[in-house]
Structure 1
Amino acid sequence: MTTHAHLQRQLALALRLQQAKRALSFSELQSYLLEQTALRDVASSYSRRTFERDLKVIAEDFGVAVRFDARQRGYVVDETDPSALLPGHQRLLEAMELQAFLRLPATLAPYVQLESRQPLGLEHLRPLLSAVQSRQLVEFTYRKFWESQPTRRLVGPLLLKEFRGRWYVLALIPESGELRCFGLDRLTDLSVTVRAFIPPAGFDAAAYYAAAFGIIRPDDEETQEVVLSLTPTQGRYVQTFPLHSSQRLLSQSETAIRLSLTVYDTHDLRMELLSMGQEVEVLAPASLREWMLQSCAVAQANYAN
């Protein structure tokens, strides 16, 4: 059995145990694995001994402690353990499920259409992740979209971030101490050096982008409450696929849905709002409302000529 199959099975078990509202017996968990299309083959000979090993891995690698509850005669997540399966682990399981789904017989290909655009630079993810973990400087050639000539960069990678199907690396510039974000699709000739670096004091990777929409995170600005009025159709879409984790429903009627976000007012956010066209009206803050008004006026003038 491959390492991929082991990891997929262990993630599936961790998720099932966390989502359960009651204790689950070994036979129930075994049956669950057998029911999963992507896991059916690897779980066909799933033994209790393998299960016990999986529980140990789940506790050590995923931070989810599982114990046997004698009263309920089943396995539960330890209530004294505040850990939860990290969002990244959930995404990893989803990626594995997708990968298994895409191994379709040729006869089923006409019924499944994939996105034709594929992200570039994914080959840099593994070496960059290794450098993030070991705190090693990396070198690469980088070319901005608006510059004609590439430049050579030496940076300390701190965090890998995905946004809209593209991958980025947030990195420390050793000379200035500034943090910069680089798109992996514009990055070539990557090499991990033997030189170590020290992250900025107090840097918290989990919190850095918490109030940002996209990859821009201003260091000299405060977050703002952005209030949006959306058409019912667009509002329902945004409710099922939130713009940001801070999104809150303010009011809902037959004509409009009002939402609020607590985020930085950035280029990424503004482009997202513009993409909604007449389906959205910015109510606050005043500065963002005025910018939207001016942008719409410029767009109208372009079509009037």
Structure 2
Amino acid sequence: MPANKYALIRYHVIDRMIRNPYRRFPSLEEMVDECSEVLGKPVSRSSIEKDLYAMKNDGGLNYSAPIRFDKHHGGYYYEDEGYSINKIPLSEDEIDAVQFAANLLNQFTEVPILKKYDAAVSKIMSQLNVARYKDLPVDRIIQFESHPTIGGNEFLSDLIYAIGHSLHIEFTYRSFAIGAQEKRRVASPYLLKEYKSRWYLIAQEEKQYMYKIFGLERISELQVKEEKFTPKKDFSPDAYFKYSIGITADQSAEPQKVVFECNEILSKYLTSQPIHSSQRIKSGKDKTLVELKVIITYELIEMLLGFGEDVKVLQPVSLRNDLIDKLNRTLQQYHGE
């Protein structure tokens, strides 16, 4: 029977207490107190008794823990002194899952907050003692998309701390806009979002109502201040990006119905991986229509242009005309050579 997350935490607390060489033979009461303290809420005696039974007998857990009770000391111990639930061998599927996660994590080794997990994953992998593919490099089996390191990732740890503790931040920001100057800003951070291997910060600047999006690679001299702020209850990440494709979220823009034709091959790709939660596909005899309810953003335009001759935008007319204008100017660049 699968265990809930609180039971799993209790199992590990019990395992740690039984293996503690400096305080052997923990009693049932001591386990109750320790689990209550770790979970931050009362744990009953009967729960610990059930946990001990499950660790010994639950086939779903597959611990088969050799737990015994010592009447002389009034506490519990492992009959096998080297036993630990952390040493349980994983199944082939579980090993594959860990290897997959380890290789995914390797794509972010330059991110300071994730570096500490590199050693942890290596330690896990060494304990797995996987010999199935020892003569075949992992990158011969599976390869992940990789990108050159982008600046700003070094601020992730501080920003996560500031968001988690509702602390103001101060930083220098340089916009990509032509003629824009570096500016010192004070803001309340709300969310970190990753898009196309770049990290963005959603924050509310001091004395401003609207939320803004800042690219981390354009941030410098970040400082987490001691002053706390009260997070606004109206901010919801899902609601903020509900009608967005990409990272742009214009709060003042109304979502529009976007309709475009596409060929059969592209429609299959879009069916297998929708570009937005509002996507609806209507297949006809001669053509396929795709409908979206989104705000018109740079990322949407970039995507539609990227589809090239495989799509034809029908509405809104303003978007259609904008795309025609951009395509004409693109052609002029080549015809002018």
Q: TM-score band (shorter)? A: 0.5 to 0.7
Structure of greater relative contact order (alpha carbons < 8 Å, 6+ residues apart): 1
In structure 2, runs of 5+ residues without a counterpart are 1-7, 13-56, 63-87, 108-120, 123-132
Task: Note if 1:126 corresponds to 2:183.
Answer: no
In structure 2, what is the Cα distance between the partners aligned to 1:279 and 1:152?
45
Q: Secondary structure at the match of 2:175?
A: coil
Cα separation, partners in 2 of 1:39 and 1:279, compared to 1, 3 Å: closer
Question: What is residue 214 of structure 1 aligned with on the other side?
Answer: 246
Q: Is the 8 A contact 2:104 2:144 kept in 1?
A: no
In structure 1, what is the Cα distance between the partners aligned to 2:101 and 2:321?
41
Q: Is the 8 A contact 1:33 1:40 kept in 2?
A: no
Taking every aligned residue pair, what percent have the same amino acid on both sides?
31
AA partner of residue 143 (structure 1): R
Question: What is residue 49 of structure 2 aligned with on the other side?
Answer: none
Cα separation, partners in 2 of 1:166 and 1:258, compared to 1, 3 Å: same
CA RMSD of superposed structures (Å): 3.5
Q: Secondary structure at the match of 1:275?
A: helix
In structure 1, runs of 5+ residues without a counterpart are 1-5, 11-24, 42-92
In structure 1, what is the Cα distance between the partners aligned to 2:291 and 2:220?
40
For residues 40-62 of structure 1, what are the alpha-carbon distances to aligned partners after superposition, in whole Å with 9 as ceiling and x for unaligned? Answer: 99xxxxxxxxxxxxxxxxxxxxx
1:98 to 100, 104, 117: 104
Offset of residue 136 of structure 1: 0.7
Q: Is the 8 A contact 1:230 1:258 kept in 2?
A: yes
Q: Is the 8 A contact 2:172 2:185 kept in 1?
A: yes
Task: After the TM superposition, list the runs of 4 or more consecutive aligned residues in structure 1 that deviate by more than 6 angstroms.
Answer: 100-106
Q: TM-score, normalised on structure 1?
A: 0.65
Cα separation, partners in 2 of 1:293 and 1:224, compared to 1, 3 Å: same
Offset of residue 221 of structure 1: 1.9
AA partner of residue 241 (structure 1): Q
2:137 to 87, 108, 113: 108
Count of matched residue positions in the alignment of Structure 1 and Structure 2 = 232
Q: Is the 8 A contact 1:154 1:173 kept in 2?
A: yes
User: What does 1:243-282 correspond to in 2, within 5 Å?
Assistant: 243-253=275-285, 256-282=287-313
User: What does 1:1-305 correspond to in 2, within 5 Å?
Assistant: 27-28=59-60, 30=62, 34-38=91-95, 98-99=104-105, 107-108=136-137, 111=140, 112-120=142-150, 121-146=152-177, 147=179, 149-200=181-232, 202-253=234-285, 256-305=287-336
In structure 2, what is the Cα distance between the partners aligned to 1:261 and 1:40?
35
Cα separation, partners in 2 of 1:94 and 1:225, compared to 1, 3 Å: farther
Offset of residue 198 of structure 1: 2.9
Q: TM-score, normalised on structure 2?
A: 0.60
